[in-house]
Amino acid sequence: MRILSGIQPSGRLHLGNYFGMMQPSIELQEKGEAFYFIADYHSLTSTFDPVILNQNVRDLALDFLACGLDPGKATFWRQSDVPEVTELAWILSCVTPMGMLERCVSYKDKIAQGIAPSHGLFAYPILQAADILIFDSNLVPVGKDQKQHLELTRDVAGKFNDRYGAGEEILVVPEPMIRDEAAVVPGLDGQKMSKSYDNTIELFEETEKKLRKKVMKIKTDSTPVEDPKDPEGSYLIDLYRLFSSPDEVEAMKESFRAGGQGYGHYKQQVFEAIRDHFAPFREKRESLLQDPSMVDQVLADGAERARAKARTVLDRVRSAVGM
């Protein structure tokens, strides 16, 4: 079973990235043949400074490796080091009806966020389909917000197979693995944690002081210190749950109901839980920074393995279409 997932290098990673994509991917590298890539082609729709793009790619690779991605178990590469994916994207675009792309909500959502409209932004789902299909991926973990893109990938693969397959499956039709709702991490304001909302807590804040300052900004109500507090729907408890045992979460809930503690007390607990969880990862990241060539070698080795697989699939596709 080949598992494929990718993440954009759009800036410093935050808790939403970690629980939404990174942690599940690290767990899945034990359960199948894991293929994970840094989606720098995709980031060209919103990142226009080459220096920033390169730094984002490097930071993402460092963060992923520090948090437990094992290059001995997972193939890990930079998307642009496998150019076969863009050739497949063009071929797939020739079998994809315009109506399919026009029904994708992500284009309108990104325009609404202020991203400049472009063909790349509109055709984004086709490149995403190529990312998946070029590696004969069997399983693709996605959040609910990406489910439509995976369905489009399945439809595009089906159309290609119908047109060129003559009864054979030239492109493997992938299956989705919908990520659990727990992966939706609340930001400082209670909305989904996202750079777009400027409400993130980074995995590796520059200092403990800055991390604590961020946590202390988490939105709460105005219930007095001495009064009981409702634990249901509390963003503090939602965050604490991600880093703590069920017993620890229940203890915080009981303390909420009992009253006598201010929200600052609970924010301190959340801060300590986040700090302690990422402490060993921070130490490993510092170690990786001492040997920059190691990260370069991991990405180069991953690209070599990824290209070998991509080449076999693209050769199959080129033969089918008459090239």
CB 320 within 8 A of CB 163: no
Name the active-site residue from 73, 192, 219, 284: 192
Name the active-site residue from 159, 195, 219, 284: 195
Beta bridge partners of 3: 34, 139
d(CA 114, CA 197): 12
Residue with tokens 């007390």: 265
Name the active-site residue from 110, 214, 267, 309: 110
C-beta contacts of 183-188 below 8 A and 24+ residues apart: 183/19, 183/20, 183/24, 183/143, 184/16, 184/20, 184/143, 185/15, 185/16, 185/19, 185/20, 185/238, 185/239, 185/242, 186/235, 186/238, 186/239, 187/16, 188/214, 188/217, 188/218, 188/219
Give catalytic status of residue 110 as yes or no.
yes
C-beta contacts of 68-72 below 8 A and 24+ residues apart: 68/26, 68/281, 69/22, 69/25, 69/26, 69/29, 69/36, 70/26, 70/29, 71/298, 71/301, 71/302
CB proximity list for 292: less than 8 A, separation 6 or greater: none
Output the six-digit token pair for 172.
Answer: 């493997």
Beta bridge partners of 192: 186
d(CA 285, CA 204): 9
CB atoms within 10 A of CB 157: 22
CB proximity list for 130: less than 8 A, separation 6 or greater: 85, 86, 88, 89, 92
Order of all β-strands in the sheet with 139-142? 74-78, 33-38, 2-7, 139-142, 175-178
Q: Which residues are catalytic?
A: 110, 192, 195
